[in-house]
Structure 1
Amino acid sequence: MATNIAKKSLFRAIGTRGYAQLAPVSGTTNYDLKINTLPNKLVVVSAENESPIARVSIIFRAGARNETNDNLGASHVIRVAAGLSTRNCSQFAITRNIQQLGANLTATSDRETISYTLEGTRNAVEAALPFLTEVATQQVFKPWEVAELASRLRLELAIRPLQLRAVDLLHKAAFRTGLGNSLFVPKFQIGKMSSETLQHYVTSNFTSGRGAVVGLGLEPSKVQHLAQTLSLDTSDGINNTSPYKGGEIRSDKGGDFAFVAIAGEGASIKNTKEALAVSVLQKVLGGGPKIKWSALDNGLLNRSIAGSTIEGFASQGINANYSDTGLVGVLLAAPARSAGKLVEGAVKVLKGGNVTDADVSRGKNQLKAELLLEMESGRKAAQVIGNQAVLTGAALSPCELSACVDSVSTSDVRAALQKAGKKLTIASVGNLSNVPYADELK
């Protein structure tokens, strides 16, 4: 069985389990989405993106926010369990047939969703669709196979970088429960997650009212037929609220560096205008260098705090949009001895930074470029469109999203910054000897 550990976007923090990796082939970003909802409330989205690589995703609102104290880490275990034996196929049969067809099946998860994406040539994807259906909807979680996942889970916990831990703790401090649940299974749960627990989690959350099917590069009729043949419970499940609360978490790990995530309340993905304003704000704060091997970032944050130290440091804006709320702020990585001044400077920017028209114009251009470049990859497009569909019941094409960015004004971005600065959340990991506590920052 071929597996790999792939790097994914840090701030969305999506875990991945992949088989037979396939290089993405670009398609066009100018295409129309066909969206409809079946009688069982399953959302179906299809589009022709003119890519020789077709992709089909089955997505459920079953991410970490739906976990309780009794099943913490269930979404992580379910994602890692992708490709295990199902009701009608063995683990060997799934792996062998997908590889033989030259296709690729990937499971991803975040705080709100779990998705299964099949990609390959159009003929390969059509032939492999039965295995996608099996993996996504016909899990059985045989006890002896689940027990063998322990080493994989321990590995994924061990290789988490400190900046990822800082963002994970940021959610814990900001939301406490629900969206505050970690993307990773707690160490004390490894080896203790029973098949019955996993099956109950799937039965409760993998339902038609909480799902969506997205197909890019296939005929809409075939995507529609796949959606209609899925055997899913018709319940809507339970939607738990997770209001923003704010707070602070510190995890002193020692070492030479401190990683500090600072954020305030962002925007819900359901409010497109506000969500795009927050996305522009992220670019205004700093999106990292845009020239390969460069260390120059012309963002508001870097300009404001660069004089705080002569030592090198890294800063980047962060943004996460969920169905009911979000987070927007910055992530700092700095030598421990200079982290204090940098954190103080970052807090001042978030609480009262001066956003200019030039900043917003630069941020909008960067956001549009990122949207269009990333969406040229069908895998990224399927992920973004799928999240929109399953969380809002609708979706915008890349060009439609880009056009919406143009409508964002400087006042919208300033309002987003003002909202975020009202109540900040701070999470820090590493050597925290010089990192101030939240009540020491003004």
Structure 2
Amino acid sequence: MLSRLSVRAQSSAAAAAPNTLASAFDLRSSRLTSGLSVSSVDLNQPIAHLAIAFRAGSRHQSATEAGFAHRLRNALGGDSRRAKGLTMLWQAGAIGANVHATADRENIILSMSFPRSQASLGASLLSELAQPSLEAWELEDSLDTIKSDVAHLSTYERVSQLLHEAAFRNGPLGQSPLCGPHNTGSVNYRKLQDYAASRLVASECAVVGVNVDHGELQSFFAERAFIQENKNRKEQASSSYHGHGESRREGCSTGVAVAVAGEGPSLGGDAKRLAAGAVAATIAQKVLSSSSVFYQPYSDSGLLGFYVESVADGTTAAKIKDSINKFKTLETSVDESAVQGAKAATKVAILTKADKGAELASSLASSVLSPSRDLHSPSDVAALVDSLSVNDVKEVARLAGARLSLGALGSIRHVPYLDEC
């Protein structure tokens, strides 16, 4: 049945590299006349996975559309203009399918897993579920889920939002993927319908099937215009990394949570730099062993940094300052030995995820919607990682440590300012 996963940025060090397929697999991709991208691969597994992704994340919202991506994600699974949501979810359950909806700053992804013999029905159901009618009563029914999502935000998610505000200021990437605490009530459904009409369209969409025949998948979406062609396309606004910013929020906790990051390679840049970002993150995790290192690339920018939670006491400020200084000088930890070890770990992470169909479908869909639209096999990505030099990784580490941003929540008096480090 429909599962509402929490909205958060993925923080795996391997997330930057294209999460793709072994070269022995037949990775196929085509673009329909409507602008819809259709890709598939067969892993010879009994369970099929479909993912439909739209460029409809929070970065695409205008200032008056705050929270629309969150509301749209939670509306998936409701009525479409052709069928009742309850009936479709019942049919999905009848074939043993699992349906998941996720959203982040870039994309909204609706995915389904089911027996591969049910591919035709699965595609039909998922394409309908991906086109919600967004009527007023449907949105009212989802209000409780909106409020629950906001109320149950993790500390990491709250601090991550503060970091993005500090790093991107009022830019599109500074917008939260969730509704704000004071923005969880009713919304003008016609405005949300307009937002959906401009984003849930073929030219902003990618469909990926794992263990699904490519010809059948292509024919289905070519013959059945469930996903409409774009009539009200909005251009994506750029979001530059600013740095030197801090966003702090006092909390009632006796602890403190801090996220610090610098600029990382973007999805729109050179693929080799993306691979270098993943390797640099692996090295940073070894240097900052008591912290959680993350690397989140976006279409036109990226963040490479670390997150730490601590009980607030007399030693907290010194520990945080030490971590910040280690990250600022990460470049000095990049040598031949460190790079070779990090390259090996990065390749293992990529290849390990290559045969996980559900993750693969969503990851490939996001890759198709990235500016480069490139799909690579794991062997290609591994070769790219192998080709990295020490200087390639040093350059990424130097950029990340040059202009830091900070987000902090809790007992913020124990958090030093960046200009004190």
Fold match by TM threshold 0.5: yes
Letter in 2 for 1:301: L
Letter in 1 for 2:308: L
Aligned-partner Cα distance in 1 for 2:377–2:36 = 19
Shift of 1:201: 0.8
Match for residue 319 of structure 2 among 315, 323, 342: 342
For 1:317, the equivalent position in structure 2 comes to 293
Say if 2:409 is the partner of 1:425: no
Letter in 1 for 2:154: P
Say if 2:244 is the partner of 1:265: no
Say if 2:152 is the partner of 1:165: no
CA contact 1:44–1:223 (8 Å) conserved in 2: yes
CA contact 2:53–2:108 (8 Å) conserved in 1: yes
Letter in 2 for 1:405: V
Aligned identity (percent) is: 27
Unaligned runs of 5+ in 2: 13-20
CA contact 1:11–1:167 (8 Å) conserved in 2: no
- Give matches, 1:24-423, under 5 Å: 30-137=24-131, 139-176=132-169, 177-228=171-222, 229-230=224-225, 231-234=227-230, 236-246=233-243, 247-270=245-268, 271-286=270-285, 299-302=286-289, 314-337=290-313, 338-353=315-330, 354=332, 355-391=334-370, 392-423=372-403
Aligned-partner Cα distance in 1 for 2:2–2:204 = 29
Shift of 1:187: 2.2
Letter in 1 for 2:312: A
Per-residue CA deviation, residues 51-92 of structure 1 (Å, 9 max, x unaligned), is 211111111111110111211011111111111111011121
**Structure 2 SS opposite 1:332:** strand
For 1:307, the equivalent position in structure 2 comes to none
Letter in 2 for 1:384: S
CA contact 2:6–2:102 (8 Å) conserved in 1: no
CA contact 2:46–2:116 (8 Å) conserved in 1: yes
**Structure 2 SS opposite 1:70:** helix
- Number of equivalent positions: 403
Per-residue CA deviation, residues 204-257 of structure 1 (Å, 9 max, x unaligned), is 112222111111101110121233233322355311110111211001113232
| Structure 1 residues 375 and 66: CA distance shift in structure 2, 3 A | same
For 1:436, the equivalent position in structure 2 comes to 416
Shift of 1:12: 5.0
Shift of 1:29: 7.9
CA contact 2:5–2:101 (8 Å) conserved in 1: no
CA contact 1:103–1:124 (8 Å) conserved in 2: no
Letter in 2 for 1:282: A
For 2:17, the equivalent position in structure 1 comes to none
CA contact 2:3–2:100 (8 Å) conserved in 1: no
Shift of 1:402: 2.5
Q: Which has the higher contact order (CA 8 A, sep 6+)?
A: 2
CA contact 2:114–2:122 (8 Å) conserved in 1: no
Normalised TM-score (structure 1): 0.86
Aligned-partner Cα distance in 1 for 2:3–2:51 = 20
CA contact 1:278–1:416 (8 Å) conserved in 2: yes
Unaligned runs of 5+ in 1: 14-26, 287-298, 303-313
Shift of 1:199: 0.8
**Structure 2 SS opposite 1:119:** strand
Moved more, 91-100 or 221-230: 221-230
For 2:18, the equivalent position in structure 1 comes to none
